Amino acid sequence: MLEGLRVLDLSRVIAGPYCTTLMADLGADVVKVERPGRGDDLRAWRGDGMSATYAAINRNKRCVALDLQHPEGARLALELARRADVVVENFLPGVADRLGVGYAAVAAANPAVVYVSVTGFGQTGPHARRAGYNTIAQGMSGLMALTGMPGQPPTKVGGSVADLAAAFLAFGVASAALVHRQRTGRGQHLDVSLVASTLALLPDPVAQYFDSGRRPTRVGNRNPNLTPAEAFRTKDGWLQVVVMNPDQYARFCALLGDDVLATDPRFATNDARLAHHDEMRARVEAALAGAPTAEWVSRCVAAQVAAGPIYEFDEVFEDPQAKHLGLVAEVE
């Protein structure tokens, strides 16, 4: 889809590089600039300079070593930018300008360029000059405040969620800017931050906070507004169930074989179940203890109740649907 698109990647670590990797996966010609001798910081995660994380985040790219602090290196980088449709960088604000590869310099040579800056906090403001990484953005966006068990410390979400949120957002706005350029002939400078991108993952708690004025709290593996919609223990593991409406709830009670859950006023409505959540959960888990997770998944699917197992990470890749979708591909 993006064959013929030329992308210059001046970024490192995850957010910026993964944005350009998404472009490379779709056929764009991506040239990644790295520091001579050291390269991207992710390389050092393994002693031979080619960590699995680096390879995954930077697949399908060509790499070149340029010292941007040397005039000749900066000149060559600017020449690459002059030929590029998209430039992605993640220096602290002002650094790219000082090196001679900021938006003003690149746009002067290439007015149609789509120039994407990915930072922790944005190009301006009181935190703009701070370094920002995944866990910092998770903490300052409120994501960690919402994650974890009640009464326990805030918890980091697994994976580099903040980086990837910024990467996908940068990819999306860059794509929109390319459409705009096709219509107008004009490029533009796009400002993407990890904190704003991570906060954008939380539209429902944000809306509920401003609507009610109440601060959301950690509720563990359950939905604070809907139940049953959480992880339940089974005979041999865990079952994730989401019941969205009264018809689904009736079918769920039937497959559990619990008439009390189906008829008792404490559990008759979603609001009632939220008010008596601990009692409801105890009854559900008492029923689920009678069979293994796989059997309950089959029963739920047959009853048209949304459910699935909670896998250990190695089990993810053995799931037949993951194999069918080709979610794992071997590359050279």
Residue with tokens 């009692």: 279
- Of the candidates 15, 6, 310, the one whose C-alpha atom is nearest the C-alpha of residue 168 is 15
Residue 101 buriedness (CB in 10 A; 0-12 / 13-18 / 19+): buried
**303-321 b/e with 16+ CB inside 10 Å = b?**
eebebbbeeeeeeeeeeee
Three-state secondary structure readout of 282-298 = HHHHHHHCCCCHHHHHH
Query: Which residues are CB-contacts of 112 (< 8 A; sequence separation ≥ 6)?
Result: 85, 181, 185, 186, 187
Supply φ then ψ for residue 50, to 5 degrees: -135, 70
Quickly count: other Cβ atoms within 10 Å of residue 248's Cβ. Answer: 18
Q: Which of 9, 40, 163, 191 is catalytic?
A: 163
Cα(326)–Cα(324) distance, integer angstroms: 5
- Of the candidates 119, 120, 198, 121, the one whose C-alpha atom is nearest the C-alpha of residue 156 is 198
H or E, element range at 6? strand 6-9
Supply φ then ψ for residue 231, to 5 degrees: -95, 130
Residue 324 buriedness (CB in 10 A; 0-12 / 13-18 / 19+): exposed
Q: Is the peptide bond before 320 cis (omega within 30 degrees of 0)?
A: no
Q: Is 163 a catalytic residue?
A: yes
Cα(154)–Cα(217) distance, integer angstroms: 10
Provide the annotated active-site residues: 163
